[in-house]
Amino acid sequence: MIVTGAKAGIGGACIGVFRREGWTAFGVDIQEGADFVADISSYAQCQAAVAECLRQHGRLDALVNNAAIQTYGNVLTTTEEIWDRTLGVNLKGQWLMSKAAVPYMTAGSAIVNVSSVQGLASQKNVTAYSTSKHGLIGLTRSMAVDLASAGIRVCCVCPAAVDTPLIHAQYDMVEDVDAFRSALNRQHPIGRMAEPREIAETIEFLAGPRASFMTGSIVTVDGGMMSPLPGSHE
Ligand SMILES: NC(=O)c1ccc[n+]([C@@H]2O[C@H](COP(=O)([O-])OP(=O)(O)OC[C@H]3O[C@@H](n4cnc5c(N)ncnc54)[C@H](O)[C@@H]3O)[C@@H](O)[C@H]2O)c1
């Protein structure tokens, strides 16, 4: 299997969970130290990553499209550069990795896209990020329909807050980190953020044969965040 964004957070946890379950995991990241260093917004680099995985392991049973960047800005403050980079990595990058991988995937294999609860609803000030995550749900459904006859399943997970470097990067923007983390925890009826492993467990399930009748599925892994009636929680 290939997981993108393997050097941190959820992608790193995927490497551990998939290996524990007996998969051969091949990590791709823009950061040095991954099994293959590539920027997924480049089709040539996606093709090179898939080729290297096939050279080393001979087959490709699953692709986890996990890499993304978090950016900020509303409709007015988002620059074209931020928009293009955010959509280029978070949406186009997932499509390009899929485009590079699908020709080598056979019946019984699967793709799992990592969207977000911000693919289902939006906070303030995340126009490009939320748009990319909504787009990923469309990409999931479109690929699920197109690839069903080839026996390739395509699913999507929508995590709420997960305790990863993506969240830690927001510490510089707040005055009180403890208060920030505590407010984030309280947004989930379960009372806490997710650990990366908890998202990786769901991804591994969706990628494997136990999820054989699931395709086009959009799975929230959110500690209950999307369940309360507006205003009813807390
Ligand atoms: N952490 C959260 O609260 C949260 C919530 C919902 C959804 N998500 C989603 O989960 C996924 C993983 O998030 P995370 O929290 O583990 O993030 P992270 O920032 O901890 O890790 C992301 C990884 O992707 C890599 N990456 C970034 N741009 C890349 C590129 N162009 N090419 C290749 N690799 C690249 C980074 O180097 C990093 O290793 C993302 O799609 C994110 O949007 C995260």
> Looking at residue 233, what is its pLDDT?
78
> Looking at residue 231, what is its pLDDT?
81
CATH classification of the domain holding 94: 3.40.50.720
> Looking at residue 230, what is its pLDDT?
84
Number of alpha carbons in the 13 Å side-chain half-sphere of residue 71? 25
Profile the chain (234 residues) by mean pLDDT over runs of 10 residues: 98 98 98 98 98 97 98 98 98 98 98 98 97 98 98 98 94 93 96 98 98 98 95 78
> Looking at residue 87, what is its pLDDT?
98
Residue 165 domain-assigned (yes or no) = no
Residue 172 domain-assigned (yes or no) = no
> Looking at residue 232, what is its pLDDT?
84
Tell me the pTM. 0.98
Quick check: CB of 86 below 6 Å from ligand 1? no
Ligand 1 atom, smallest distance to 65 CA? 41
Which residue matches tokens 């499509």? 95
> Looking at residue 217, what is its pLDDT?
98
Distance CA 234, CA 225 (A): 12
Residue 48 domain-assigned (yes or no) = yes
Q: Report the side by side order of strands in the sheet with 153-159.
A: 36-37, 26-29, 2-4, 62-65, 110-114, 153-159, 218-221
Residue 232 domain-assigned (yes or no) = no
Quick check: CB of 159 below 6 Å from ligand 1? yes
Q: Which domain holds residue 86?
A: 2-159+194-218
Residue 90 domain-assigned (yes or no) = yes
Residue 10: closest CA among 187, 156, 198: 198
Residue 125 domain-assigned (yes or no) = yes
If one counts the domains in the chain, the total is 1
Catalytic, 129? Answer: yes
Among the listed residues 43, 72, 104, 129, the single catalytic one is 129
> Looking at residue 12, what is its pLDDT?
98
Residue 188 domain-assigned (yes or no) = no
Are 189 and 224 within 8 A, CB to CB? yes
Residue 21 domain-assigned (yes or no) = yes
Quick check: CB of 184 below 6 Å from ligand 1? no
